[in-house]
Amino acid sequence: MTFSVNDYVDYCVCAAALISENKDYITELDAATGDGDHWANMNLGFQKLVDSNQALRGESYSGLFKKIGMTLMGTIGGSSGVLYGSAYLSAAKVVGDTDEMDVRILNQVLSAMIEGICERGNSGPGMKTMIDTLDAAAGELKAALAEGLDEEGALRRMERGAKRGMESTARMAAVRGRAYYQADKGVGHLDPGAVTMYYQLKTLAECMLKKR
Ligand code: ADP
Ligand code: MG
């Protein structure tokens, strides 16, 4: 399977649509554990990617990821803007000048994103953040590749991992993010950043599966 830079831009447009559709749900989640702006922040960033999608095409992956990182950092605002910026700038460093992606490169990209976010956010898995979704997805993808699953099997497992990671945040007491300052540390509520991360990974898996 080859997933071109243009395919990745198309994926961003699809992810933007899924985020846009879930305004009330994500806003309620962030109102319960944070300050209620997570949907507005993410929507602003992803709509900016939609608006500038023509300018993102025709790059190498490293150029694309740098532009996405700068765009998200400049528009999202809140903690998540800086964290997504770091994720993409970190991913830009591992993709070299390739203009095609496959599940093996995706595996490296996810690891780099985790490193970028954790370094910037002084965070890690188990702290009730977007990392929990990303880390579970990356772990499943890595295991699937090690076990020799085909691309379809690997992508489906990545998607299930992302879902499991997202769901696991409901049980967690927050160690990072605004939920940490709540009396109950957000226990019983999903982390909004974990949910929007799931939207992205689920959409990416679907888009890559279509290109097989
Ligand atoms: P803010 O918290 O500044 O209002 P957002 O509402 O846009 O920013 O984003 C909140 C989300 O960011 C949280 O739900 C969580 O997933 C994520 N987050 C916050 N702080 C961290 C951190 N230090 N490391 C990783 N993710 C974080
Ligand atoms: Mg917020």
**Could you state, in order of their start, the residue ranges of all structural domains in the chain?**
3-210
Please name the residue ranges forming H helices in the chain: 5-21, 23-33, 38-51, 53-56, 61-75, 78-94, 103-121, 130-146, 151-168, 192-210
Q: Which residues on adjacent β-strands are paired with residue 100?
A: 4
Cβ partners under 8 Å of residue 134, min gap 6: 110, 113, 114, 117, 162, 165, 197, 201
Mean pLDDT of 31-54: 97
Answer whether 186 contacts ligand 1 (Cβ < 6 A): no
Pocket test for ligand 1, best of 27, 29, 80 (most atoms within 8 A of CB): 80
Residue 212 pLDDT > 90, yes or no? no
pLDDT attached to residue 22: 98
Ligand 1 pocket member 34 (CB < 6 A): yes
Specify the ligand 1 atom closest to the Cα of 191.
14
Query: In the structure, what pLDDT confidence band is assigned to residue 183 with cuts at 50, 70 and 90?
Result: confident
pLDDT for 68 equals: 98
Ligand nearest to the CA of 177: 1
Q: Classify 3-210 by CATH class.
A: mainly alpha
Chain-wide mean pLDDT for the chain? Answer: 96
Q: Note the pLDDT of residue 77.
A: 84
pTM assigned to the model = 0.98
Cα–Cα distance between 87 and 206 in angstroms, integer? 21
- Is a pLDDT exceeding 90 seen at residue 78? no
| Nearest Cα to Cα of residue 101 among 196, 11, 16, 202 | 11
**Residue 60: its H or E element:** none
Per-residue pLDDT at 38: 97
The residue type at 29: L
d(CA 171, ligand 1 centre) in Å: 17
pLDDT of residue 1: 78
Beta bridge partners of 4: 100
> Is the CB of residue 176 below 6 angstroms from any atom belonging to ligand 1?
yes
Ligand 1 centre and the CA of 10: distance in Å?
26
